[in-house]
Structure 1
């Protein structure tokens, strides 16, 4: 009888221990479904592709040296990227951008060694994976080039 009661106590102890371990505070809880509001707060990641037909390097023979040569990218008025001394063979430049949930404005300023005999171009495309969602080109025969682009709010861009 002692053996039987000892075996019964060991089985009860093992079952109680297993129950405590499986239902205790360390147990992982089932995943709760993600609400729609959290989905809208996830930051988008887009690619900005910048191409030029002229060198962005400093022109040693420039008459006006007050404006720096190179490429400046602004997001909502705040500078986010700056490239100096690039030649045309080094473009296109691919930048990862993270627009906010609201409307976002991008400004690209390019200046450098532009030849007066031929027009210069600055092309900016914003890509969502392989799909171009914005594409703009600025042309000039002399001087720096400016390009402005606006991205709509995150909810509006999904329905385009």
Structure 2
């Protein structure tokens, strides 16, 4: 009798686990979700950066021997932007005319630059300006305190229907 009771309990436990997993798997989607088609806004956007300092390589950074690394990093929606010049001079505007991957909806520009160590007692900033056909769309300044790196994001929203009316 004990033997039959042990088999009955074992069948009940294994059966309940089997029923639970079968019901759980039945609720899963049949095929993987398909990626949405990404549309890119095609227009003549210009990103202008004007710093209040000259960029300088961090003297405390790890030296890997690779001279291609810059102390200025600019990303648009998470993708690095190739710069015409890796250095920026105080008050000189850096213009980037071919902006990749501007999407309809929300976009974000990330900037990270290192001011000179000799100017660690000053506040520094970078003016970020985005223009479309000469009309200013975004004009913000990223500030940093004493001796800090100037780093921040500037977010903006693009409406393709609205932007196409600027012609």
Q: Same fold by TM (over 0.5)?
A: yes
Where 1:88 maps in the other structure, the secondary structure is: coil
Match of 1:108 in 2: 111
- Distance in 1 (CA, whole Å) between partners of 2:121 and 2:40 is 49
Which stretch of the first structure deviates more once superposed, 93-102 or 48-57? 93-102
- Distance in 2 (CA, whole Å) between partners of 1:144 and 1:51 is 15
Say if 1:120 and 1:157 are closer, same or farther in 2 by CA, change over 3 A.
farther
Say if 1:138 and 1:153 are closer, same or farther in 2 by CA, change over 3 A.
closer
Runs of 5+ unmatched residues, structure 2: 1-38, 64-68
The 5-angstrom pairing of residues 8-157 of structure 1 reads 43-59=42-58, 62=59, 64-66=60-62, 70-82=71-83, 83-88=85-90, 91-96=92-97, 97-98=99-100, 99-114=102-117, 115-140=119-144, 141-155=146-160
- The answer (yes or no) to whether the contact 1:46–1:129 under 8 Å persists in 2 is yes
Which stretch of the first structure deviates more once superposed, 112-121 or 129-138? 112-121
> Displaced runs of 4+ in structure 1, greater than 4 A?
66-69
- The answer (yes or no) to whether the contact 2:48–2:96 under 8 Å persists in 1 is yes
- Distance in 2 (CA, whole Å) between partners of 1:102 and 1:134 is 14
Match of 1:15 in 2: none
Q: Could you report, residue by residue, the CA deviation over 1:6-38 in whole angstroms, capped at 9, with x for unpaired residues?
A: xxxxxxxxxxxxxxxxxxxxxxxxxxxxxxxxx
Q: Could you report, residue by residue, the CA deviation over 1:33-55 in whole angstroms, capped at 9, with x for unpaired residues?
A: xxxxxxx9761221110011111
Where 2:160 maps in the other structure, the secondary structure is: helix
- The answer (yes or no) to whether the contact 1:71–1:84 under 8 Å persists in 2 is yes
- Distance in 1 (CA, whole Å) between partners of 2:136 and 2:42 is 18
Runs of 5+ unmatched residues, structure 1: 1-39
- Highest CA radius of gyration, 1 or 2? 1
